[in-house]
Amino acid sequence: MEIAPKFTAEQWRELDLVEKEDDWQTAIDVLNDRLSARYIEPVEKLIEAENEFKASERRFGFTILAIDLLLMETIQAFKEGLETTDGKSKQVFMNFLENSPHFSGYFTTSEQREKFYKAFRCGILHQAEVQSSALVWSIGELYERVDEMEVLNRNAVHEALKSDLRDYVAQLRDPASKGLRSKFKKKMDFLAGRDGIA
């Protein structure tokens, strides 16, 4: 079973993440390749496909956001070392919004984070629509609130999410990030069927 492009669960289980720093760097490459291939690259293609259209004619916003909202939860699950987010999706998603330096400025209160979780994450992933009067757009600020109107820029969300992933990967590359690495390893071990292996 491949856990990233051209990298199998068996290869993951062969990595020495106790003694070999080179293997740690390979492990981090695997994570980056996995998340890029499954989430980042498909969204890049969707955005690129609409580049020549006027903003009012772009139609892939919900698909782009569905993928990126999944990635937010996925990145946070790695950061927290969670094998799954069953029964924890709301808190994991809200933790991402609160702790990501690229998103936290737009969601400064728990009420804002919860509203976004319900309206966008749950609305798009469960109902295929935003559960509010908010608009999905492709220009402007990442998230704007003006009077009763809310506007989310799906392109800005994607760029901020790419920055969050780059930051996380950079932190993992530092051998001093022992706690973060331990949580990442726990999640990847689970995905590779390596539960309980040192």
pLDDT tens-digit map of 4-36: 999 999 999 999 999 999 999 999 999 999 999
Q: What's the burial of 105, exposed, middle or buried (CB within 10 Å: 0-12/13-18/19+)? A: exposed
pTM: 0.93
Tens of pLDDT along 87-146?
Answer: 999 999 999 999 999 999 999 999 999 999 999 999 999 988 998 888 999 999 999 988
